[in-house]
Amino acid sequence: MARAAVVGVGAIGGVLAALLDSTARHEITLCTRRPLKELTVKTPDGVVRVKTRNLTDPAQAEAVDWVLVASKAYDAESTAQWLPGLTADGAPVAVAQNGVEHRERFAPWVKQEQLVPVVVHISVDRQADGTIWQRGPARLTVEEGRLGREFAELFRGSNSEVVVTEDFKTALWRKLCGNSTGTLSVLAKKPFSAFKLRDEALARVVLEMALECVAVGRAEGAQLDDSTAQRIADGIMRGTGDRANSMLADRLAGRPMEIDARNGVIVRLGERHGIATPLNRMAVALLRAEGC
Ligand SMILES: NC(=O)c1ccc[n+]([C@@H]2O[C@H](COP(=O)([O-])OP(=O)(O)OC[C@H]3O[C@@H](n4cnc5c(N)ncnc54)[C@H](OP(=O)(O)O)[C@@H]3O)[C@@H](O)[C@H]2O)c1
């Protein structure tokens, strides 16, 4: 049994809480900004309702054994207000966010040896009524090590796969390559699956944008080759590439977006390595110029 707190109970946090709850082994606390009467998650196996302790004020937070942060990257600073109380006994903090900078993002508030970056492979939408719709299987990837294995153990018995890998950097960058090209659909304000024209020109832009990420990721030490980018472009052309794009959902709802975590980082690190990233740079510039 572990006392686990989920900070940020949106699409991903909701699914993580439902998975932990399904093990019937943990005492779960949901940390939200607004009161949450009940958490309802539509999963591939049916509807799950989680009724558990809900806190809305970081001042109420008490020490737990594990903290799972599932806010957007741009909300790191506000979610960090929960951490002093929740980690009072030194609990590890798993950060389930996109991008490759989980450690840097939370460095001001969490000791590196307590921090567990998580690559999330779950396609989830949060609907207007607050219902969370998990559209496919849940896979989480963490780094090999004591905390990575303990994180996997938390989810034992749930309908999820937790991969513990020696080569976490590659897992991070492979996910970013897909996420970075999703920004093209954010610019178009519709999912790739709604594009009428799936022609070679679009495939070429997706491929070249993903290749920028591959090049920067490789310079950072990820084991990626150009086939990673090709697979992303092929998936988008087949209409299977973006079942849920949380950045598109944010743009359509007028919320802030993870532009820096998904594309800005490629531009910034590309500059450091002398690698040109014109498509990512253009995407960042256009969205910023629109005030996003
Ligand atoms: N959705 C997907 O399919 C998917 C897939 C893979 C990875 N990801 C990544 O997972 C991360 C989370 O994405 P998401 O789609 O789950 O986002 P989301 O649905 O917007 O959920 C984020 C939640 O964090 C909450 N939050 C923000 N600041 C908070 C604070 N100070 N205290 C408590 N709660 C706070 C938000 O509260 P409010 O409800 O009050 O706004 C919201 O419920 C992102 O990095 C995303 O890129 C998402």
CA 273 to CA 146: how far, in whole Å? 32
**Residue 12 CB less than 6 A away from ligand 1:** yes
**Residue 78 CB less than 6 A away from ligand 1:** yes
- Residue-wise pLDDT for 251-291, tens only, equals 998 999 999 999 999 999 999 999 999 999 999 999 998 87
pLDDT at 96 over 70: yes
Helix ranges (H only) for the chain are 11-22, 76-79, 83-86, 102-106, 146-154, 168-188, 200-219, 226-237, 246-252, 259, 265-273, 278-289
**Residue 37 CB less than 6 A away from ligand 1:** no
What percentage of the chain has pLDDT greater than the value 70? Answer: 96
pLDDT at 241 over 60: no
- Catalytic residue status for 72: no
Sheet with 46-50, side-by-side order of all strands: 46-50, 39-43, 132-134, 124-126
**Residue 70 CB less than 6 A away from ligand 1:** yes
**Which residue owns the Cα nearest ligand 1 atom 35?**
8
Q: Report the interhelical angle of 168-188 vs 265-273 (nearest 10°).
A: 120
- Could you tell which of 12, 56, 75, 131 is best to mutate to test the pocket of ligand 1, judged by most ligand atoms within 8 Å of the CB? 12
**Residue 33 CB less than 6 A away from ligand 1:** yes
Q: Residue range 188-203: average pLDDT?
A: 77
CA 245 to CA 63: how far, in whole Å? 34
Residue 75: in which H helix or E strand, if any?
Answer: none
**Which residue owns the Cα nearest ligand 1 atom 45?**
97
Domains in the chain (CATH in brackets) are 3-165 (3.40.50.720), 168-289 (1.10.1040.10)
What is the model's pLDDT at position 242? 57
| Active-site option among 111, 169, 175, 196 | 175
Average pLDDT taken over every residue of the chain? 94
- Residue-wise pLDDT for 27-69, tens only, equals 999 999 999 988 999 999 899 999 999 999 999 999 999 999 9
